[in-house]
Amino acid sequence: MLNGGGEFQKGQEQADLFALQQAGGKEAKILILADGEGGIPAAGRGANWFRSLGATNAQALPLVALTGADQPQLIEKLAGANLIYLAGDNPAALLETLQGSPGWEAIRQAFAGGATLAGANAGAMVLMEHFYDPATNAIRPGLGLFQNTIFVPQFNGPGRKWIAQVQKAYPRVLLIGVDERVAIGGRGNDWQVFGRGWITLYRQGKPYKYQGGQPFKMLS
């Protein structure tokens, strides 16, 4: 599941209940990870939010240092998680924390083993093959879970301003623009929009729009 921002707030219930269902239900083991200066409160809000939705085993795991993703206790918890949710205050900090770390390898293995993976705003941005850093206007390698893809959050706000530069640098990349308080969830090529808003996919530079409640194919 990929969220355009404004996570853990009213209006996100449908998307997060979908993620919870995919993870096995209300008894699923949920880990909320976040980094940057806002990492501790962001992770805590996420755990409290999922508890409000009925989850019985939601835990906050803020990554407050670049070594945070290497901690053996964290890696052990990741290996046993049913839902791993990457929130994020600072996308560059989150990427630098996870990239090349045992923690990221543990997340990859959990996902390959059937765990549900979610990312919101910064947490979704870093999952792509390419990562656009709005702080530096630079595009660099992301974590690579979605090949040939860039994720643009808050597409009904500041995110839309990134499009021209990204398309100029990568004209054939798949751009996923998601409005704030809107999310997409799916598996393989079959996805659905959650929330009152829109997403815009740019395939080969051409925009395709989908609204809340609408299913769509990620790759045409």
Domain count for the chain? 1
Q: Is residue 66 very low, low, confident or very high in pLDDT (cuts 50, 70, 90)? A: very low
Under 8 Å between Cβ of 154 and 4: yes
- Higher confidence at residue 62 or residue 64? 62
Helix axes 91-98, 102-112, angle to 10 degrees: 90
What is the SS3 string spanning 12-70? CHHHHHHHHHHCCCCCCCEEEEEECCCHHHHHHHHHHHHHHCCCCCEEEEEECCCCHHH
Q: How confident is the model at residue 177 (pLDDT cuts 50, 70, 90)?
A: very high
Q: Mean pLDDT across the chain, nearest whole number? A: 91
Residue-range definition of the domain harbouring residue 80: 2-217
CATH, residue 63: 3.40.50.880
Q: What does pTM read for this prediction?
A: 0.94
Half-sphere exposure of 125 (CA within 13 A, CB side): 27
| Among the ranges given (99-103, 141-145, 147-151, 170-174), the one the predictor scored with the smallest mean pLDDT | 99-103
Q: Is residue 48 over pLDDT 70?
A: yes
Rounded CA gap, 57 and 28, in Å? 6
Radius of gyration over every alpha carbon of the chain, rounded to an integer in angstroms: 16
Element (H, E) at 204: none
Q: Where is pLDDT greater, at 125 or 75? A: 125
Q: If you search the block for the tokens 């941005």, which residue do you land on?
A: 125
pLDDT more than 70, % of the chain: 95
Is the pLDDT reported for residue 64 higher than 70? no
For residue 121, give both structure tokens: 């705003």
